[in-house]
Structure 1
């Protein structure tokens, strides 16, 4: 059975299973009254990638036994045929509505079908308004390459009345390669003020991934968001804009909110942004140099000095090293 995982042996082993009667043997086991035997047979047919068995496996989705359904969905997702996908989608409303399978398990199985499943999933999503179905489809699409069709489908749902749908749509848009696919990124901006925190979270992440520079000032406002996860995500997203976000960070590091300042410093320290600030100490642009130094000074005063000390240990740039030593000494004197 392990040889099925190797491409060069797969077809030969699959043919061998047919000739030796294993497929027929396990298909007959599907009729057993014993749930464990049925589930084991389903699992074996899935591992054998038995496409001729798909019709019989789909019938197993009509049972009300959650374990059997979970094993069957996994088996069909291993086979990955068009018929297998259609079978799952045909039963999806009932399976989710009656809680016969966990949504996360369904999402994982649908994702296993790969890129070939994207067109039928989008077509299916346009025919159903059930939030649970749309949520599953968008979650699966967020784990695939976002082509123009996927992007359009996500844009169609960013204003959905269901917060989870809005969040999943934003998650999809955050994966769009804007160099090859164009869409109106400004449509995401209003969602930075969404009343639901996890929608704001996905909005700021998406805009950071998209490097939408027009959003920098709006994203900065989330550095003081009431939800700590949104604040952290905003700081992380802003670090992706390089020097363009220095003014925003400096503005909020001058606030009296100590917790907010510490959150910003922590995210800067965790990313390459701190390295950029240190390199800026030798910048020919005096404004960038001064602002970078000021941010590093604030970080040091709040005990976020690890990047500075690590740089001194490994760098041979004496000019930057001297600036760092001055920063550290200033902090000690204060």
Structure 2
């Protein structure tokens, strides 16, 4: 018993010692960080005139140089950080001058050597700075480092540095293929990284759309959101029929967002696709396209087994004027099961906005819907649609 008590005391003392050591280490790190911040501020003030010199000569026909005299490593880091900040802000000749300054000053060469450091924190910092300096000569080393790095935050930092630095589309493709090889749901992040490239993004995305790797095609499709895509419509038309579910779904979303002139048989084909992602994308787009001729298809889609398809169909019907709203009322009054619940929920959302409309057109549109609503559910304004239905239900699941 005495031996066990002694062991307990030893354990407590060891824990207290570890806690004390941890607290001391944290204080040391905080003190070191504060000292570095003070040095950064001091050197920034010291080289204020130099920074003014660089800014004033960015558009002149002169070669930028470092300040005269010997610089400490901290001073070099301050100047490098300021150059990287401006590289992000400027384009064209001004950026090229800053990039050349980083090379002439030896910043790029130093960070390339740091990629071989045994310390992981030094490697991460070097990768970040090389990307910031658009160091195309470092891309082979960055690719090699990425190939031997397990998936994690550092992988994303390396990929972004490659995207910023690469001058060859093949290097971008290899980086994206490596990201996909980790077998993670990373397509949206990869698309964001792709848009960091200095290359012509439109040309690069066009190449990826024709790539045999479906993952790269999907990355390109995701990256195209928010881009001007009229030139890509023929390619999207082809990808809408892709055998890959994810590719087909993304292609349908983009294709419909480009406001094409859809034929009735094309709409019917999309609304009856065997993948719910495609049906949901088509149902959502039909409302914004004001495709009133698709109301029967949207009404049928209220019975779809997938909630996303039903909800998107109800939203689109609500956007198609009185006829679409009347279709919702019919489904709410005579429909069954999920179709009825979805229609009830959407009508409830619309009617709850009474008095919120400020523009005359919105008020007129609401009043027309109110007349349709009263025709189907009576003039008992004190009763909500849920009371008329006489049933409950989870309308948001």
TM-score, normalisation: structure 2: 0.62
Residues paired across the two proteins, number: 293
Counterparts of 1:271 and 1:185, CA distance in 2: 33
- Residue of structure 2 equivalent to 1:199: 278
Pairwise CA distance, 1:73: 1.2
Match of 1:126 among 194, 210, 228: 210
Matched, 1:104 2:188: yes
Who wins on radius of gyration, i.e. which is larger? 2
- Residue of structure 2 equivalent to 1:314: none
- Residue of structure 1 equivalent to 2:87: 4
- Over the residues paired in the alignment, what is the CA RMSD in angstroms? 3.6
Give the conservation status (yes or no) of the 8 Å contact 2:298–2:313.
yes
- Considering Cα pairs closer than 8 Å and 6+ residues apart, tell me whether 1 or 2 has the greater RCO: 1
Matched, 1:234 2:313: yes
TM-score, normalisation: structure 1: 0.72
**Matched residue of 1:42: which SS?**
helix
Matched, 1:138 2:224: no
**Mean CA deviation greater in 67-76 or 105-114:** 105-114
Pairwise CA distance, 1:237: 2.0
- Residue of structure 2 equivalent to 1:310: none
Matched, 1:214 2:293: yes
Deviations 1:61-89 (CA, angstroms, capped at 9, x unpaired): 4334324432121123344x542x43121
Match of 1:46 among 131, 140, 164: 131
Give the conservation status (yes or no) of the 8 Å contact 2:351–2:370.
no
Deviations 1:228-262 (CA, angstroms, capped at 9, x unpaired): 22222112222333334233223213225452332
- Residue of structure 2 equivalent to 1:19: 104
Counterparts of 1:100 and 1:167, CA distance in 2: 18
Give the conservation status (yes or no) of the 8 Å contact 2:88–2:132.
no
Shift of the 20–14 alpha-carbon distance from structure 1 to 2, 3 Å rule, reads same
Counterparts of 1:37 and 1:152, CA distance in 2: 47
Give the conservation status (yes or no) of the 8 Å contact 1:189–1:203.
no
Counterparts of 2:171 and 2:110, CA distance in 1: 23
Give the conservation status (yes or no) of the 8 Å contact 1:66–1:101.
no
**Matched residue of 1:142: which SS?**
coil
Counterparts of 2:298 and 2:331, CA distance in 1: 12
Counterparts of 2:277 and 2:144, CA distance in 1: 38
Give the conservation status (yes or no) of the 8 Å contact 2:301–2:313.
yes
Q: Which runs of 5+ in 2 are unaligned?
A: 1-80, 387-397
Pairwise CA distance, 1:265: 1.7
Counterparts of 1:156 and 1:197, CA distance in 2: 19
Q: Which runs of 5+ in 1 are unaligned?
A: 306-334
Match of 2:142 among 40, 48, 57: 57
Give the conservation status (yes or no) of the 8 Å contact 1:236–1:271.
no
Match of 1:291 among 372, 377, 393: 372
Counterparts of 1:76 and 1:238, CA distance in 2: 46
Pairwise CA distance, 1:164: 1.6
Give the conservation status (yes or no) of the 8 Å contact 2:115–2:126.
yes
Pairwise CA distance, 1:169: 1.0
Counterparts of 1:297 and 1:108, CA distance in 2: 52
Map 1:170-189 onto structure 2 (within 5 A): 170-178=252-260, 184=263, 186-189=265-268
Counterparts of 2:98 and 2:137, CA distance in 1: 15
Counterparts of 1:69 and 1:7, CA distance in 2: 27
Pairwise CA distance, 1:304: 6.6
Match of 2:230 among 143, 147, 152: 147
Shift of the 233–112 alpha-carbon distance from structure 1 to 2, 3 Å rule, reads farther
Counterparts of 2:315 and 2:252, CA distance in 1: 17
